[in-house]
Structures are given as C-alpha cells and as structure tokens.
Amino acid sequence: MAINTKLKRNIGFISDRGAGKTTLIEAVTHPIEMRWKKYEVTTRNPPTPGWVAPPKENKTVVLPNPLYTPDDMPGINKDINLFEFPYRRSFRGEGFSLRVVDGAVLVLDSLTGVCPVLLKCARQLQHAQMPYLAFCNKLDLIGNYQRAATAIKELGRKPLHLQIPIYSGDQFRGVIDLIKRRAYFNGETDEEAHGEEIPREFAEEAEKHRRELMIVLFDSDGALRRTSSEREISEAELKAAVRRACIKLRLTPVLLGSALDKKGLRLLWEAMFDYLPDPTEFSNTAYDQSRAKTALTCDPNKLFVGQVFYWEDGLWGMIAYVRIYQGQLRRGDVIVNCSAGNKELKAKRLVKVLPNEMHDLTEAFAGDIVGILGADECSLGDIFTDGTVHYTMKVT
C-alpha cells in the first residue's frame, strides 16, 4: 500500500564520539516496538560474504524500519527511515550518503559540550541546506545543556529551546514541553504519552521560558506575530511556526532527554514528524550532460531518478538499496545506470527488508527507500534513471 509522502521521513542521526547516538536510536525505537536492523556502508564495493570492514572504514549505518501506526491515528501509516552517521571530520567523501536523508538530528553531549569535529560535521549539514533538530543527551549526568545548545549559533542558526529539564544529574526526572505546557517523565507507555501537569515548583520557570520561546518565534515569523495581536495562539499554530522556521533554516529546535534513562524520547519521536521536512519539502540537485542544474522534486509523476547508497549480500542474495528522488519504480522496469556507461538493469524484484523478513513490492514511489535484488553490477553512489534523461549528482 502506498503511503502519503507527507507521512514519510528519512532522517539522519549525527553526533560526536561518545554522545550516546546509538543508544539513543535503540531507545527511541524500543518504546514504540519498532523493529530495526543495522546496515553498514563500507568502502568495499560490493561487499563479499563474511567480509568485515574495520570500524574506521564504516561510512554510515542505515536503519530502515517498518511502518508505524500511532495510537491516536488509527489506520494511517507513517514511514520513517533512520540513518546513523558516525563521527567523522567531513561528510564530503560520502556526499551520496548524506543525500539519502531529508533532515537530521544532531545529538549533543550535555556533559562534554560540542567539539570542533562535530561542528565541522554540522557545517556540512549547513552546506547542504538541511534542516535539523538538536537533542541534548545525558541530562542524567551533571552538565550544561545550554552551553552545548548555544554552540549552534556558531553554525549561523539560532537555537529554539522547546523544553526545560525537571532537575538534572542524579535527580533528573523528565522534561517540560513549553509548547504543550505538560511535564513528561518517562513516556514509554500510552498512559504517559499525554504528559502530566507541570509541577508547582517549575510552573513559574516554565512560563518564563515559554515567553522567551514566543519572542524568538515572533522575531522569525511575522504571520505568527500578527496572529498573536488578535487572539491567543493555539498549540497547532505554534508547532506550525516552529516547523516553518526549522525548514527555512532560521531556527534549530532543541530538545532534552536521556537515552539511557529513556526520558524525553517520545517527544523526540514526535518532533521528527512535527518539525523535520518530508521528502516533498527537501530537494536535491542533479546535473545533466550539458552541466545544467536540475532540481529533483519528490513527484511520482516525473521521470524516475534514484541513487544506490548501500550494498548487502545477505540471506536473499545481493541487494542494492536505492533512494528514489523522483518518479516511481515498478517491478520489471528497465532502468539505466548513468554512472556506468548507461548500462541497463532490469528491476526483476523490488523488496523492503526488515530484520528477519523481506516483503516484495510491486512498485515504489518518490521518497521511498527500496531494495533491488540481483543488481550486482553497480557501485555506491550510482545514479539510475529511466533512460530518457542522464543525470549526475554533485557531492555535497
């Protein structure tokens, strides 16, 4: 069943070494019972059975996951693919991997702050004009999350604090959402998903920070400021304003929590859908044979353009994972590898791979990530089209 593109997300997690990024991804998927599998993109192409690359050769870890239906949206599917990028000095060498995602989550260590390596990685996101959230992790340890979040200013974006902690260090109990005006302590169960009343001792501080949040939003969104002069602004309008500011690269929403204690994770999950762009809101650039620039839009009715970002030689044979930027791909279609002398490839079998099972697909659309079985003569970063156009993509 095709999913509304507005309900799809392709999100990358980026952090410095030791910031708890992998723990965060495992924790954020565990409470909602999502199944996920780890894939490693290496410099070896294609990978041979049983070959294990040294850790320094790993470029990105991809975590495709199944459809998720929230409890409050019965019958409506949301599809999210999470990509874990290890700490590196630069993403320029693997620009094709960075282009797989439409948004990112920058995981900050509130204990040690932000190091120059992470700032350089974040500047690559700025270079790619990619919206991202900041998640200050490890609030269960004594640290200064405000100092870590303030480092975002060095990237030319203003941090927007959406939450404040309920105590910190060993006493860390949860977070207060300034937009919802609710306190969240764990949020792992359905009963805790809606939050609780803000504790009395934090009510005044929460209102103070909420006023500061509103001032920052008013400065970046004139429409919201005009609306506030007429009536009280609703929660949905505030979220829409945060989303506009994030996608337009004006503000970076900052969230708090602890991956180890599983606090603030449900709010992070919601924020990825509320504030980060769907595939239709983030476009990539391709170049034709005359070096003319062309914007790839997430439109299933346009010519097919996709890119290989990972190889796997697993239980079902050689699978090439392709991010579809525009158009659609049907089982049995013949596509052309523009990066390998226009070599033709027949997509005999399209699949979506889960940890212990594989689902056959009859078609895939723009914004999807799909596996092609039997595509053993292509390389990482290769561009596929339907043959009517021949594109290449500049490494970001």
Q: pLDDT tens-digit profile of 32-75?
A: 444 344 444 333 343 333 333 333 333 333 443 333 333 333 33
Q: Which long-range contacts (CB under 8 A, 24 or more apart) does 218-225 make?
A: 220/158, 220/245, 220/250, 220/251, 221/245
Average pLDDT of the residues of the chain: 77
146 in the same domain as 117: yes
pLDDT value of residue 319: 85
Q: Does residue 337 form part of some domain?
A: yes
Identify which of 89, 103, 112, 84 has the alpha carbon closest to the alpha carbon of residue 19.
112
Say if residues 299 and 345 touch (Cβ distance below 8 Å).
no
Helix (H) or strand (E) holding 218: helix 200-220
Q: Name the amino acid, one letter, at 100.
A: V
343 in the same domain as 196: no
Q: Does residue 56 form part of some domain?
A: no
Q: Does residue 62 form part of some domain?
A: no
Say if residues 215 and 208 touch (Cβ distance below 8 Å).
no
* Cis peptide leading into residue 159 (ω within 30°): no
Q: Of 248-257, 347-356, 372-381, which one has max mean pLDDT?
A: 248-257
More confident position, 280 or 318? 280
Q: Decide which of 281, 298, 321 is a domain's last residue.
A: 281
360 in the same domain as 290: yes
215 in the same domain as 229: yes
More confident position, 393 or 352? 352
Q: Does residue 392 form part of some domain?
A: no
Q: Of 159-173, 239-253, 342-356, which one has max mean pLDDT?
A: 239-253
pLDDT value of residue 45: 41
Helix (H) or strand (E) holding 161: strand 158-161
344 in the same domain as 223: no
292 in the same domain as 276: no
Query: Do β-strands 317-326 and 369-373 pair in parallel, antiparallel, or remain unpaired?
Result: antiparallel
pLDDT value of residue 231: 76
Cα gap 157→30, rounded to integer Å: 31
CATH code: domain of residue 260 = 3.40.50.300
365 pLDDT higher than 80: yes
pLDDT value of residue 146: 76
- The residue written with tokens 């060095």 in the block is 154
Which residue range forms the structural domain that includes residue 360? Answer: 284-385
Query: Do β-strands 293-296 and 305-314 pair in parallel, antiparallel, or remain unpaired?
Result: unpaired
288 in the same domain as 189: no
297 in the same domain as 158: no
229 in the same domain as 296: no
Q: Does residue 44 form part of some domain?
A: no
Domain total for the chain? 2
Identify which of 149, 95, 91 has the alpha carbon closest to the alpha carbon of residue 123.
91
218 in the same domain as 290: no
pLDDT value of residue 90: 43
Sequence-ordered strand ranges (E) for 172-256: 174-177, 182-184, 251-256
pLDDT value of residue 350: 92
Q: Does residue 376 form part of some domain?
A: yes
Q: Decide which of 233, 264, 281 is a domain's last residue.
A: 281
User: Which of 164-178, 235-249, 343-357 shows the lowest mean pLDDT across its residues?
Assistant: 343-357
**Considering the entire predicted model, what is its pTM?**
0.82
332 in the same domain as 260: no
pLDDT value of residue 32: 44
pLDDT value of residue 62: 42
Kindly report, residue by residue over 270-279, the tens digit of the pLDDT. 899 999 999 9
Residue 328, beta-bridge partner list: 365
Q: Of 21-25, 33-37, 114-118, 252-256, which one has max mean pLDDT?
A: 252-256
User: Which of 27-41, 111-125, 178-192, 321-335 shows the lowest mean pLDDT across its residues?
Assistant: 27-41
Cα gap 311→140, rounded to integer Å: 38
Q: Decide which of 281, 314, 329 is a domain's last residue.
A: 281
pLDDT value of residue 171: 84
